[in-house]
A = this chain, B = another copy of it.
Amino acid sequence: MRTINLIATGGTIEKVYSEQSGVVLNSDRKIGHYLELLRLPDCEVHVIPLLNKDSLEMTSEDRVKLASEMRRLLPEGHPIVITHGTDTIMETGLYVQKAFPDLQVPVVLTGAMTPLGFEGSDGLQNLTESLMAARLLGPGVFVVMHGQVFPTDHVCKNRELATFVWTEPA
């Protein structure tokens, strides 16, 4: 049995619609429920609910907290998937890449443009792809979304196209 550690930090992928306020926000957790819809007979996905916030509100302390959690998990030798808001997923990816220059496993960041369970959501697709990519990729930090695999220093969000595209490292 393989293991993948999935660190959930919130973001659009895990937003819910609030009937009281009429807005979408990060409150309850969703990843666990949607993972149960996938059949993964040889793989245990261990979900770690670290944060639940819009990535525009993610602070330096939050990223330190993420790195601290990763430091705890990496010695287990399992791939890591991080669900994250798309607005600052690149910043977090670069931060992780810098914090862990000698990764022995793939770290895959993913998210969604539309929350899990909303019509037309890309969340389950991205989650499915990320788990497959985490099995097949070598060590490194990647963003996986919409069938695409980017090294974290070659990706940027294209808001107009509602997806991610290749870019040159700064």
Contact of A17 among B54, B114, B137, B144 (CB under 8 A): B114
* A99 on interface, CB distance cutoff 8 Å: no
Chain B residues near A39 (CB, 8 Å)?
Answer: 113, 122, 125, 146-147, 163
* A115 on interface, CB distance cutoff 8 Å: yes
User: Which residues of A pack against B, CB within 8 Å?
Assistant: 12, 17, 19-20, 22-24, 37-43, 54, 113-120, 122, 125, 128-129, 131-133, 135-137, 144, 146-149, 159, 161-163, 165
> How near does chain B come to A17, taking the closest CB pair, in angstroms?
5
Given contact pairs A12-B22, A133-B136, A43 touches B147 in the complex (Cβ within 8 A): yes
Show 25 A/B contacts (Cβ-Cβ < 8 Å), sorted by A.
Answer: A17-B115, A19-B113, A20-B159, A22-B24, A23-B24, A37-B125, A38-B125, A39-B146, A39-B147, A41-B165, A43-B147, A43-B148, A117-B118, A117-B119, A117-B120, A118-B118, A125-B128, A128-B132, A129-B129, A132-B133, A132-B144, A132-B147, A135-B147, A135-B149, A136-B137
| Bound-state Cα–Cα, A122 to B149, Å | 23
